[in-house]
Amino acid sequence: MTREERFHKIAKELGYSFDGEIKVGGNYSPLIQHQKIIYISGQIPRVRDDVVIQGALGSDISLEVGQVAAKICAMRAVALLLKHLGSLDRVQKVLRITVYVQSSQGFTQQSEVSDGASEVLCAIFGDSGVHSRTSVGVYQLPKNAPVEIDFVVAVD
């Protein structure tokens, strides 16, 4: 299977389409390429106009649902890469992801939430998807999202 086929297979398993136009709300861009490095803006589990999972880990939503939210964030990033690059084969290495988890008091499984995103990246890109990672628990996220993730990616 190609990387793009794996991307579409995971989208189907999640039950969401990531083909739509990804909108941007201000004087910034979801993706900036400078030379061979791409910076992707913080992604929340939004599908078209809807933030499909909302709430805090440790109170409103379960670890399992939080992992699905992290997967959707990663899929959005991959969708942006596909749209920008034309082909996922141009992704050389995922360098870093920073995972912000909206956390209730006492919730300390931020790393386990992040595993959802890491799994998606490795499933699609194989060894090239293995990345450095930071996971932290924050108090609030935009639109009451449970997870927000940004990315640094090297391309050919």
Which stretches of the chain bind a copy of itself, using CB under 8 A?
A: 25-32, 34, 37, 39-42, 58, 92-93, 95-98, 100-101, 103-111, 114-115, 118-119, 121-122, 129-144, 148, 150, 152, 154
CB of 84 to a copy of itself, least distance (A): 12
CB 3 within 8 A of CB 124: yes
CB of 142 to a copy of itself, least distance (A): 5
CB 88 within 8 A of CB 1: no
17 versus 65: smaller Cβ distance to a copy of itself: 65
Indicate the helix (H) or strand (E) that contains 39. strand 37-43
39 versus 65: smaller Cβ distance to a copy of itself: 39
Query: Does the CA dihedral 147-19-30-3 come out positive or negative?
Result: positive
CB of 116 to a copy of itself, least distance (A): 10
CB 146 within 8 A of CB 55: yes
17 versus 121: smaller Cβ distance to a copy of itself: 121
CB of 39 to a copy of itself, least distance (A): 4
CB 129 within 8 A of CB 151: no
14 versus 154: smaller Cβ distance to a copy of itself: 154
CB of 105 to a copy of itself, least distance (A): 7
CA atoms within 13 A on the CB side of 46: 20
Strand partners for 34: 37
87 versus 132: smaller Cβ distance to a copy of itself: 132
Q: What is the rounded CA–CA span in Å between residue 64 and residue 71? A: 11
